[in-house]
Amino acid sequence: MMYDKTKKIALEEHFATEEFMEDVKPWFIKEGPEVWERAKATITDISGKRLELMDEAGIEKTILSLSSPTIQCILDPAKAIDSAKRVNEYLADSIRDHKDRFEAFAALPTQSPEAAIEELHRCIEEYGFKGALINGFCQIGDPDVPVYLDDPRYIPFWEEVEKTGYPVYLHPRTTVEPVRKAEFDGQTWMATAAWGWHCQTGTQVLRLIGSGIFDRCPNLQLVIGHMGELLPMFLWRTTNRVSTHKRECKAELPINQYFLRNITITTSANCSTPALMCAMMEMSTDRIMFSTDYPYDSMKQSADWFDNIPFSDLDKAKMGYENAKRLFRL
């Protein structure tokens, strides 16, 4: 099997609408006002410059998702339900004429598990979306209290996700303010993409595993980005520790087994060959997919790195596009 570098599929790729501009502004504005001015056009663009960059990077297809934290940080469930519906409709309309290049993940109002189930089904059935992307925990009413996806209220939600046969992409967001303050005050550089987002998302993945949801739903598929949100490097230690100190962990299998059955990672915004080798050795190339995290990171940089990694054509084809085709039935 030859690796075709023009056929890549990327699936942690974000857009925003005017409604959510204030949510995404902090990530750009810290680079300077002119960066934010340029970024506004970049993040709202779907089929203009984005398509040119996809061509340049050899990305044949992109699965689009609403940026972080957006729906998940809306405190009022009714407003979250309404916003998710509108943004999913907008996305479906925006890609309708470009189905050869774009697919989509639904944004879900996780503030209401029942509404999230309904919206997931609606987006798959009416629009042909390929699952959902959720920006981690949500808050309901109180901004200081995170509601994690391993809460028992989400059991019916995960059962429905399993039935659809499509994965959920679990994406980072900044932790709640009291935790952010306790951990990162005076070191704000660590709070987001340099560290905080990723260990927080890794924690949520382990919470899901520890809740036993993957034992209840053995076919449930979760996707996580950034080369596995720090987890592959630590898998032996976590697995070994739980085998001797199980405490309230409800997982029936050794922890590392879920990374071979229920979890697939992407290379989004983590172009490290040593990190990729670690993930390959823990999870195999069947469980790794290319992605770029555009527009927060560069499609070209990710593509140039990936096209030149010193692995076999078979492994590059799997990670570059074959795994995504299979997982999302593209």
**Smallest gap, in angstroms, from Cβ of residue 104 to Zn ion?**
15
CB 267 within 8 A of CB 227: yes
Which DSSP category does 4 fall into?
Answer: -
CB atoms within 10 A of CB 313: 12
**Smallest gap, in angstroms, from Cβ of residue 308 to Zn ion?**
23
**Smallest gap, in angstroms, from Cβ of residue 80 to Zn ion?**
20
**Smallest gap, in angstroms, from Cβ of residue 65 to Zn ion?**
8
Count of positions on this chain that bind Zn ion (CB under 5 A)? 2
In the complex with Zn ion, the residue whose CB is nearer, 229 or 293, is 293
Which DSSP category does 176 fall into?
Answer: P
In the complex with Zn ion, the residue whose CB is nearer, 66 or 74, is 66
Q: Site mask, Zn ion, residues 25-64, x = CB under 5 A?
A: ----------------------------------------
Residue 162 binding Zn ion, by CB under 5 A: no
In the complex with Zn ion, the residue whose CB is nearer, 224 or 242, is 224
Q: How far is CA 19 from CA 24, 83, 150, 252, 301, in A?
A: 10, 9, 29, 43, 30
CA atoms within 13 A on the CB side of 163: 9
Residue 13 binding Zn ion, by CB under 5 A: no
- Of residues 62 through 121, those in contact with Zn ion by CB under 5 A are none
In the complex with Zn ion, the residue whose CB is nearer, 85 or 171, is 171
**Smallest gap, in angstroms, from Cβ of residue 219 to Zn ion?**
25
> Helix (H, G, I), strand (E, B), or coil: what is residue 46?
coil
Query: Could you list the active site residues?
Result: 293
Q: Site mask, Zn ion, residues 245-264, x = CB under 5 A?
A: --------------------
Q: In terms of DSSP H, where are the helices of the chain?
A: 21-29, 33-44, 49-57, 77-95, 113-122, 155-164, 177-184, 196-210, 213-216, 226-229, 231-244, 255-261, 273-283, 299-307, 313-317, 323-327
Q: Which stretch binds Zn ion (CB under 5 A): 50-58, 256-264, 279-287, 289-297?
A: 289-297
Residue 293 binding Zn ion, by CB under 5 A: yes
CA atoms within 13 A on the CB side of 221: 18
Q: Which stretch binds Zn ion (CB under 5 A): 8-16, 138-146, 197-205, 312-320?
A: 8-16
**Smallest gap, in angstroms, from Cβ of residue 74 to Zn ion?**
19
In the complex with Zn ion, the residue whose CB is nearer, 69 or 113, is 69
> Helix (H, G, I), strand (E, B), or coil: what is residue 211?
coil
Residue nearest to Zn ion (CB): 293
Return phi, psi of residue 299, to 5°: -60, -45
In the complex with Zn ion, the residue whose CB is nearer, 3 or 296, is 296
Chain centroid offset of residue 103 CA = 15
Residues 6 or more apart in contact with residue 270 via CB below 8 angstroms = 225, 226, 227
Interface residues toward Zn ion, by CB under 5 A: 12, 293
